[in-house]
Structure 1
Amino acid sequence: MPKSKIFLIFCIAFIVGVFFGRFINYQIMAILAMIFIIAGTIAFRNQRVLILAIAGIIALLGSLRFATDYRQNDLEQFYDQELVLQGVIVEEPDVRSDKTFLTVGKLIINNQQLESKILLRVSRFPEYEYGQMINFEGKILEPKEFEDFSYKNYLSRYGIDAVVYNPKIFEIEEGFGNPVRALLIQIKKKFTHRLEILLPEPQNSFLAGILVGMRKTIPQDLLDSLSITGTTHVIAISGFNITIIASAINWFLIFFFNRRISFILALVTIVLFVIMVGASASAVRAGIMGILGMLALNIGRRKNINNALALTAAVMVAINPQILHFDLGFLLSFAALMGLVFIGPILTQYFCRVPKFINFYLVPSTAAYIATLPIILIYFSRLSAVAIPVNVLILYFIPLAMLFGFLAAFLPYPFIWLAWGVLTYVLTVVEWASKIPWASFSFSTNWYVGAVYYILLIGLIWLWNQKQNNSQPL
């Protein structure tokens, strides 16, 4: 068996192990570990059995990684207690219209340093900044569990294990965050404030969403329209969205530079985008996946990118194993990227008669839709019937809106007029499509059906690849 294939098996085994780590306990892990060790020892000379045994052990390491991370909660012992704490605001404050959420880490309680983070809900004013060290008093509460939503798991993926509502903050000191990240956040704030002055609503909030991933100020009716038309991804910082935008930039630059230089400039654009949105952990993950998506679309032989994709996913999951269960953005982004890599080439052949300028977005939109369909139905219980045509109609213009909007912050005229025109077109298409009676309808399913769907999809992809390999001349 080739070493590259063995490496791919080990990476997938670790990811599968992390997934099952939520459902098995330490005793089962110990029993399985003994079985794999015995099997590997007995069949040491049988390469296939030995590889499977090692893959099993690697999977158990993944399960152990999830279990130890998920069960670590330093704040559990302090639930329902009124305490005085000290900590540092470790993320950019999440500012809403009437309140602000602060993620506080580096906590100290009774001279004890804790690993867990805590989420504070405070009033809109006064304003707080990333990197401030605060002393506060409040009641530490366990995040609530709802019938169809686990707020505890939602926060746990960020390392947050408790919440405090309306704490009393009585001491603030500056300069305890990463200075580079603090500078990036300040640049982002000044940039978005500049756009607020130049553009009216809803164009301004929509541009902030597609440029820096800010969706808190987007009107609810526009968010509903984006959801109905299956275009919410354009305001999300995801690997798929970054890949699509970078591909469009790459296609545009080819008219001015050779293919290699335009490709490199497109990759540089991804890095600059991640920096511009503040270089948060989710943005960095999306940027890495976007770069891999670009490589997948530009490398002629798909197998050259398979191991890179598997390794990247394994490393991301190893760093934060909870994203595999509780980060819907990661699941959608990675599934869409897999669709680009494995389903895209199939659709390209079937859509060969479609004009290239339409295919440029038709193929990736359709591939991503097929790959993410079960996840969308499981989590949102809604199916958009207009997602593919609407994406084809607007995705050409999203990179233009980003380009004109970015330039308008430094040279308002004529770029602010161009940005307004492009944004108005996109919003008009989305709003018009969302009013079609059959644009979206309820349709729910579960992970059992989803598993069958993905097994059948993988089988069809495998059969197509076998057919392609058999048809190649010797």
Structure 2
Amino acid sequence: MFIRFVLCWLLGTVGAYLVAPSLFWLVVALVVLALVAWLVRDQPRMHKWTILGLALLFGALRYSAGLPTLGPSSVATMLDQGEVLLVGVVAEAPRQTASAQRLVLAVEALQVDGRQQAAEGRVLVVLPTYPAYAYGQRLRVHGALSEPRGAQRPGEFDYRAYLAHRNIFVLMQQPTEVRLLAGSGGNRALALLLRFREHCRTLLLRTLPEPQASLAVGIMLGIRSTIPETVANAFAATGTSHILVISGWHFSIVAGVLAGLASNMRLKRIPALLLTLGTMWFYALFAGASAAVLRAATMASLAAIGRASKRERDPWRLLCASCWLICLANPHTLWDIGFQLSALAITSLFAFSEPIEAWLAARRPFNVPWPGMAAVRTSLTATLAVQVLTLPLIAYYFGNLSIIAPLANILIVPALPLAMATSALTLLAALIWLPLGQMIAPFAWLPLTWMSTGVGLLATPRWAALQVPPFPLWLLLSYYGLVLAAWWWAQQRGAGYGPRASGQ
């Protein structure tokens, strides 16, 4: 029932986005349906359907109530008004690329034609890579505002709608003037944490050579801006880019290390739980607190609470609970690409790992009792299972289809835990004393080199990855509909498609 409740809530969120219902009529419908639910409380079947209907309406109400109102002081009213001068605070950690940095400016005031006035709203500002700016800094920027580009054809990726879900409706590309102002804004604790994160990035870059240093920064801190373009392209071509994104697997490794540490320290259940939760959420904020990171941290936290209370729930409920809590806090997370890929990857792993492993175990050479074959089969099972639901979405958004991904994941992914552990030791040592970190760095260099060199070699063949032509949204949804129907049919036949593990 809980899983159906969450699915109805999410469906109501999407429905509110598509239909844009009135808040008044949503509240009226909620009151009426709540009264019906009370009247039929003694009829289990009817009561269940009314509860699901309430979940649908609550999801729609949560989305609709959180929509921004563009008043007369909104910066969006300055579109196509020529160059304007904006004063505001950097509201998020800027995203660096090889050629530019993108920062979100929370506007406080604007000036146009020599007249200054109070203003509000968020603007995506595209600047050169240097000088680099940071969260919480106050800036004055001067330039022309423009509207984000929408979809060129129905069904294509809509950049304008994507930014709108982040409450961004205007852009300023390559402003003519940028000046750093005195003072700061934003959350001071978060600003301090992000400064510490930047300090850690600098230490890793000083203790390891390239590209191993940038790879360690991506794996440990979730910062991909310093990874050389050739290395990043190799990871994308081999279908191993998920290694560079903080995911459920990263949190599983962290939780495993903390469980071992708590056991060695002989901590009681509650102190061990507090240590695990505190460390994981510190790491989540430290890694940038993206939607996918929050999903993974929430799910890992629920699993830890379940183990501590000795009432572990099945992985499907953990996944639904984590997605629901995140979307309850911010319904627009549903449209975050990283969140979509992360949630679909775990769903696909839970749904298809068992039948794929059974299929592999019945065929040569995967059923031959060679040393290491079980590990190979497990890695290949996870890789193929995840591809079922994520591959179409990757092709839809990025037009990239990796042919060599199964082999690459078998060879590269098992090195991730060792790379994380040795990189963490290197960083901790460097925080204590930089030369000490440089002495430990060779232990991290080996797995990082295996990963960077391995993806480089695997990405070399021309057939390693194919560029697919863009396809419409209805085709993507049709694919998922067919997969869902096939999964449901297999469930009815008792095929036993289900989750293997709850640690993701």
TM-score by length of 1: 0.81
Task: Verify the 8 A CA contact 2:491 2:497 in the aligned structure 1.
Answer: no
Look up the match of 1:277: 287
Look up the match of 1:17: 12
Look up the match of 1:61: 58
- Structure 1 residue 162 and structure 2 residue 170: aligned? yes
- Match runs of 1:214-293 below 5 Å: 214-239=223-248, 241-243=249-251, 245-246=253-254, 249=257, 270-279=280-289, 283-292=293-302
Task: Verify the 8 A CA contact 1:249 1:399 in the aligned structure 2.
Answer: no
Whole-Å Cα distance in 2 between the matches of residues 349 and 253 of structure 1? Answer: 35
Task: Verify the 8 A CA contact 2:75 2:119 in the aligned structure 1.
Answer: no
Look up the match of 1:406: 424
Q: Taking structure 1 as reference, are residues 344 and 254 closer, same or farther at Cα in structure 2, changes over 3 Å only?
A: farther
Residue 84 of structure 1 deviates from its aligned partner by 3.5
- Match runs of 1:3-402 below 5 Å: 5=1, 7-26=2-21, 30=25, 33=29, 45-69=42-66, 72-73=69-70, 74-81=74-81, 82-105=83-106, 107-109=108-110, 111-112=117-118, 114=120, 116-147=121-152, 148-165=156-173, 166=175, 168-170=177-179, 172-239=181-248, 241-243=249-251, 245-246=253-254, 249=257, 270-279=280-289, 283-292=293-302, 303-324=313-334, 326-346=335-355, 356-358=374-376, 361-402=379-420
Post-superposition Cα deviations, 1:184-216, rounded to whole Å, max 9, x if no partner, equal 111111111122223222222222111111112
Whole-Å Cα distance in 2 between the matches of residues 131 and 425 of structure 1? Answer: 38
Q: Which amino acid aligns with 1:448?
A: S
Q: Which amino acid aligns with 1:163?
A: L
Task: Verify the 8 A CA contact 2:101 2:126 in the aligned structure 1.
Answer: yes
Post-superposition Cα deviations, 1:339-397, rounded to whole Å, max 9, x if no partner, equal 34444455566667675544554443333223423323333344323323321222221
Post-superposition Cα deviations, 1:278-330, rounded to whole Å, max 9, x if no partner, equal 44565334422344577899999985444343232122112222222x31110
Residue 406 of structure 1 deviates from its aligned partner by 2.5
Task: Verify the 8 A CA contact 2:33 2:53 in the aligned structure 1.
Answer: yes
Residue 242 of structure 1 deviates from its aligned partner by 2.4
TM-score by length of 2: 0.77
Residue 249 of structure 1 deviates from its aligned partner by 4.6
Task: Verify the 8 A CA contact 1:107 1:117 in the aligned structure 2.
Answer: no
Q: Taking structure 1 as reference, are residues 422 and 37 closer, same or farther at Cα in structure 2, changes over 3 Å only?
A: closer
Deviates more, 1:331-340 or 1:43-52: 43-52
Residue 235 of structure 1 deviates from its aligned partner by 0.6
Indicate the percent of aligned positions where both proteins have the same amino acid. 25
Q: Paired residues, what number?
A: 460
Task: Verify the 8 A CA contact 1:383 1:442 in the aligned structure 2.
Answer: yes
Residue 425 of structure 1 deviates from its aligned partner by 0.9
Residue 231 of structure 1 deviates from its aligned partner by 0.4
Whole-Å Cα distance in 2 between the matches of residues 201 and 383 of structure 1? Answer: 27
Q: Taking structure 1 as reference, are residues 196 and 134 closer, same or farther at Cα in structure 2, changes over 3 Å only?
A: same
Secondary structure of the equivalent of 1:396? helix
Out of 474, 478, 482, the position equivalent to 1:452 is 482
Whole-Å Cα distance in 1 between the matches of residues 263 and 489 of structure 2? Answer: 39
In structure 1, list runs of 5 or more residues that go unmatched.
Answer: 469-474
Whole-Å Cα distance in 2 between the matches of residues 291 and 361 of structure 1? Answer: 25
- Match runs of 1:414-433 below 5 Å: 414-433=439-458
C-alpha RMSD over aligned residues: 4.0
Q: Which amino acid aligns with 1:15?
A: L
Secondary structure of the equivalent of 2:171? strand
